[in-house]
Amino acid sequence: MSPIHAAREYVLEAVQRPALASSLPESTKAKVRHSNIWLNQFKRVGDLFAYLKRFSADKQDETYLEMHALGLQTFEDIVEPFEKRFGDWVGDRMRASDFVIGETYSAHDILIFSANYDTRAGGMFVIESAGQPTAVVIKATLSGGRYANEWLERGRRLKYFLKSKTLKDGSVQFGEHFKPNAAILNVPSLPVLAFVRQTSNDGFVYAGAFANQQMHEEADGAKWFELVLTTSDEVIADAGYLQQELQGLVAQASTRSRQQRLERLAKAPKKPKTIRTISTAYVRNPDVVAEVLFRSEGCCEGCKKPAPFVSKATGDPYLEVHHITPLAQGGDDTVDNAWALCPNCHREKHFG
């Protein structure tokens, strides 16, 4: 059993299961069930420990008193024994470097990293060390709402409205003194870790670490940060994400005049920057590949023309086996779900 599974099981056995099997009021049991939802979200022992510690400060809490009246243990009671039992792991917490650009994360993941356990919380969280801000985490939804955030340059420059408060008269105050706003404004180049989604029904995709270039104020008093990507050494989800991002940037570059492109090219570095990528691979059935190639008899099953050349490695006509429904979309690794295609037709299936 992994450390985090053992830690969760300890909490369930010591607190949660006895509480749910007791005569506690149903309203209190509902709170216990809600905390079970959180328990299942933790991936590191240190983050679970941080969650438990937040309960140790107030021993006059109504739930605490109800459970103690029945002789039940509470989170407050198990903080010290938890630390002794899992002492080698209590310092293991989520780090910014754990997030992978292009990967999707839940609101729980973001809140756990931010040490904020209220799913009703807003979209900005300050990460602190020794009382000083070290980063700000933002959740950006790009559609809906009166003040919609948006990409100014996809993946590179983000328009993100300051934390605000709606006043009694219906007006909106974009207070520069609000904690996350002040942190970004007062700490030069403070990392802003951006999690972006298109609609409220989508998961959040990690877009990378950004920094505030400047704050803008609109005629109606709305204020927004112009956030610029600063990430240079983080991990990208996969090469496909980079390809998708490149296609968007190419489309933007094509809308500019040729003179603008030439001016940018004159200033551009000749060597591309490097970045690490990870990707999910599928262990494909070699019999499927062999059978599809045999079925094709050396001709592309797309354009019906003979293979364009002979493979040096095998001496056979060169064709590529393509899954009609991609494996990443739940497609089967079967002969019926595959074609033998020439390189041109294969690219057309992916990008045409």
The residue type of 152 is: L
The sign of the torsion formed by the CA atoms of 270, 276, 280, 285 equals: positive
Biggest CA-to-CA distance, the chain: 82
The pLDDT assigned to 343 comes to 93
Confidence class of residue 344 from pLDDT cuts 50, 70 and 90? very high
**Nearest CA to 95 among 109, 106, 84?**
109
- The two tokens of residue 114 are 């931010």
Domain 96-236 has CATH 3.30.70.560: no
pLDDT digits (tens, 9 = 90+) for 123-162: 999 998 888 899 999 999 998 778 889 999 988 999 999 9
Distance of alpha carbon 246 from alpha carbon 332, whole angstroms? 29
- CATH number for the domain running over 286-351: 3.40.1800
Q: What is the pTM of this model?
A: 0.66
The three-state secondary structure class of 184 is helix
Pairwise CA distance, residues 37 & 64, whole Å: 19
**Partners of 165 in the beta sheet?**
173
d(CA 278, CA 144): 32
Whole-number Cα distances in Å, 6 to 42, 44, 86, 141, 235:
12, 11, 9, 36, 29
More confident residue, 231 or 127: 127
pLDDT score at 334:
93
* Per-residue model confidence (pLDDT) at position 129: 82
> Above 60 in pLDDT, residue 233?
no
Q: Which residue has the higher pLDDT, 314 or 342?
A: 342
Residue 103 has pLDDT above 80, yes or no: yes
Conformation bin of residue 297: beta by default, left when phi > 0, alpha when psi is -120 to 50: left
Chain segment 104-120, per-residue pLDDT in tens: 999 999 999 999 988 88
Q: Matching CATH topology for 96-236 and 286-351? A: no
Which H, E and C letters describe 82-141, residue by residue?
Answer: HHHHCCCCCCCCCCHHHCCECCEECHHHHHHHCCCCCCCCCCEEEEEECCEEEEEEEEEE
User: Nearest CA to 99 among 204, 202, 201, 184?
Assistant: 204
Q: Tell me, what amino acid is at 257?
A: S
Higher-confidence residue of 253 and 219: namely 219
Percent of the chain scoring above 90 in pLDDT? 56
The answer to whether residue 227 scores a pLDDT higher than 60 is: yes
> In sequence order, what are the beta bridge partners of 227?
158, 212
Region 208-227: mean pLDDT is 94
Interval 213-224 mean pLDDT: 93
Q: What is the mean pLDDT of the chain?
A: 88
pLDDT at residue 59, rounded to an integer:
65
The CA-CA-CA angle for residues 274, 280, 281, to 5°, reads 110
> Does the structure show a pLDDT above 80 at 56?
no
Q: Sorting pLDDT into bands at 50, 70 and 90, what band is 278?
A: low
At 31 the pLDDT is 92
- Contact, 242 vs 282, CB < 8 A? no
Report the alpha-carbon distance of residue 157 to residue 229 in Å, rounded: 6
Contact 51/42 with Cβ under 8 angstroms? Answer: yes
The residue ranges of every structural domain in the chain are: 3-85, 96-236, 286-351
Distance CA(276)–CA(266), nearest Å, equals 27
